[in-house]
Structure 1
Amino acid sequence: MLASLMPGGLFGVALVFLAGQPGFGWLINPSRYPWELWVIALAGTVATTAGVLDWRYHRTAGIRVGPNEHRAELLALAGGGLPLFLLMCAASVARQSRAFLLPVLVVLLWTVVLICYDEFVFHRRRCDGHEALLHRTLLAGHCAAFLAWAHFCFVREVFHG
C-alpha cells in the first residue's frame, strides 16, 4: 500500500521543491499550470483512490494475496513502477528530456509486461466485477497520467525549449 501511495506524495513534494528552481517558477502560480499537470493530478488521484479502494476491498472481503501474487505485484512496483517514476523525474528536470525517451519507453513496456502477468495469472479468474473495475480504473488513471506527462515532457516546448 505504501509503495502505491509513494509516487503521488513524492510528486507533490517535488513540485514544491521545483517551484523555487530556475525554469520552474511558474509552479508558484496554479493559473499558469499547463493542462498536462491538471490531468496528471486528476488521473493520479483517480488511480490512487482506486488502489486504496482495492486494498480496502481485500481487507473487508478477506481476500488473501498469496505469496506468488505478492511477489509479482512487488516486482511490478519495485522492478517497473519505481524505475519508471525515477526516469520520469529525471526527464522532467533535464535540459534534454528527449534523451530519456528510449529508456522511459523500455521501462514502461517492462512495467506493462509485469502488470499484465499479474492481471492475467492471478486476477483473471479470481476477481469479481467490482475488483476488476477497481483494477481497470487504477490502470486507466496511471495510463492517463503517464500520457499527460509524456506530452508535457516530450512534446511541449514552452517550458523546456
Structure 2
Amino acid sequence: MLSLKSYRSYISLILLFVPPVLFGLLLVVFQGNDKLRLTRELPYLPWQFLVMGVAGAIATAGGVLDWRYHRNPLNLKIPKKERDAEAAALGLGGVPMFVLMWLAMMQSNPATWLIPILLVLIYTVVAISYDEFVFHIKRCGPLETAYHRMLVFGNGVAWLAWFHFIFC
C-alpha cells in the first residue's frame, strides 16, 4: 500500500499528463467546431497543434525524467518549500492558463481574453523563475538542469504555438 508521501509524489507525475490528455480529449469532444480548423486530409491539425504536440512531448519527457531522477535515493530530495513553489506555479499559473487559452480559442473574439491570459502568463513566468533561481540554480547538476530546460522550454514553445493559433 502506498504511503501518503509516496501517493503525493505520484500525483505530481500524473499532473504532468493532464494538459496533453485534456487537450486531446477536448479536441475530440469539439472536433466539429470550426474554430479548431480541423480537416479530413493530412495533416488533419493546424501546424500550431503539431508544434504543440512535439514541444509538449519534450516538456512531458523532461518532467518524467526529472520525476524519476528524484526517486533515486542517491539524488537530492525536493524540500517542501520547493514543492510548494512548483505547486503554486502549476496550480495558480498553469491550470488557469489552460482554461483561459481554451476559452479564448473557442470564442469568436479571443481578444477579450488577452489581458487575463497575459496576467496569468506574467504570474507563471515569475513563479517558474522563482523556483529556478531560488531552488535550482546552485544545487542542480547538468543532468537535472537539462530535464528542467526540457520541461520549461518545451512548455514555453507549446504555449507560444497555441497563442499564435488563437491570436494570429
Q: Same fold (TM over 0.5)?
A: yes
Question: Does the alignment pair 1:76 with 2:76?
Answer: no
How far has the Cα of 1:76 moved from its partner? 0.6
| Aligned counterpart for 2:25 among listed residues 7, 10, 13 | 13
Amino acid across the alignment from 2:20: G
**Greater per-residue helix proportion:** 1
How far has the Cα of 1:28 moved from its partner? 5.2
How far has the Cα of 1:100 moved from its partner? 0.9
Distance of aligned partners of 1:25 and 1:154 in 2 relative to their CA distance in 1, 3 Å threshold: closer
Q: Report the RMSD for the aligned CA atoms in angstroms.
A: 1.5
1:93 aligned residue: 106
1:53 aligned residue: 65
Q: 1:22, 1:145 → 2: CA distance? A: 21
Q: Which ranges in structure 1 are unaligned for 5 or more consecutive residues?
A: 156-161
Structure 1 residues 2-151: aligned runs within 5 Å? 2-24=14-36, 26=38, 29-60=41-72, 61-151=74-164
1:158 aligned residue: none
Amino acid across the alignment from 2:93: G
Q: 1:70, 1:31 → 2: CA distance? A: 39
Q: 2:102, 2:68 → 1: CA distance? A: 29
Q: 2:147, 2:111 → 1: CA distance? A: 33
Amino acid across the alignment from 2:158: A
1:159 aligned residue: none
Number of residue pairs the alignment of both structures matches: 155
Deviations 1:18-43 (A, max 9, x none): 11335447255542421101000110
Which TM-score applies when normalising by structure 2? 0.86
Q: 2:111, 2:86 → 1: CA distance? A: 30
